[in-house]
């Protein structure tokens, strides 16, 4: 039992397996293949691991910042979110916008319509699709006023798109949100 728990705590890659993490079935196969046990059920394995709250199939991602100037750079952004710039408070007429572009969003269309569910049959969804080009999405978030502005375009952001975004944001300030569309 202890050897199987130790195996569950190992990364599968240390044993030459092309897995990111263990599943119960893969852990069971490896325990038998490596001779830790002659035979074991998935239920027994699950119960043994559960005694120590081991769940190697669960994971959480994280990022380790490698930039030596990360704290300084991130601090400037955090200060803006806190309504501060270079140590001074932002005024009521100061704005903070977060702007980003998502390029090459694949527009796809299913080759055949989905069929609704029927008695004794689930919904049928066609797995094949036809490409319908690519789009770019440009968006801005007015951080302190909780307003979002966005636009889809057939090409990536250009001066024209950025100008549209600035106009949309300005129109919303003077109370014409309909000018944003």
Q: Residue 166 pLDDT > 80, yes or no?
A: no
Report pLDDT for 158. Answer: 62
Report pLDDT for 181. Answer: 41
Q: Which has the closest alpha carbon to 150: 82, 93, 107, 102?
A: 102
Q: What is the mean pLDDT of residues 67-88?
A: 94
Terminal Cα-to-Cα distance of the chain (whole angstroms):
63
Q: Residue 161 pLDDT > 70, yes or no?
A: no
pLDDT tens digits, residue range 94-131?
Answer: 888 888 878 778 878 888 888 888 899 899 888 888 88
Please give the model's pTM, rounded to 2 decimal places: 0.46
Report pLDDT for 141. Answer: 86
Q: Residue 77 pLDDT > 90, yes or no?
A: yes
Report pLDDT for 44. Answer: 93
Q: Residue 134 pLDDT > 60, yes or no?
A: yes
pLDDT tens digits, residue range 36-75?
Answer: 999 999 999 999 999 999 888 887 778 888 999 999 999 9
Q: What is the mean pLDDT of residues 15-19?
A: 85
Which whole-number Å values give the CA distances from 168 to 102, 147, 153, 179, in the listed order?
19, 11, 15, 6
Averaged pLDDT score across all residues of the chain: 84
């Amino acid at each position: 039992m202890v050897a199987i728990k130790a195996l569950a705590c190992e990364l599968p890659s240390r044993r030459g397996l092309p897995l990111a993490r263990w599943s119960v079935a893969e852990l069971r196969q490896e325990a038998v293949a490596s001779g830790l046990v002659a035979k074991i059920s998935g239920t027994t394995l699950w119960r043994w691991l559960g005694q120590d709250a081991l769940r190697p199939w669960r994971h959480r991602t994280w990022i380790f910042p490698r930039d030596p100037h990360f704290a300084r750079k991130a601090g400037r952004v955090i200060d803006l979110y806190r309504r501060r710039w270079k140590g001074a408070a932002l005024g009521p007429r100061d704005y903070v916008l977060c702007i980003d572009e998502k390029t090459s969003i694949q527009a796809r269309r299913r080759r055949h319509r989905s069929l609704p569910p029927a008695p004794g049959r689930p919904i049928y969804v066609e797995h094949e699709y036809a490409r319908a080009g690519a789009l770019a999405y440009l968006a801005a978030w007015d951080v302190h006023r909780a307003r979002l502005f966005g636009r889809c375009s057939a090409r990536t952001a250009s001066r024209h798109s950025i100008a549209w975004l600035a106009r949309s944001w300005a129109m919303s300030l003077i109370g014409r949100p309909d000018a944003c569309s």
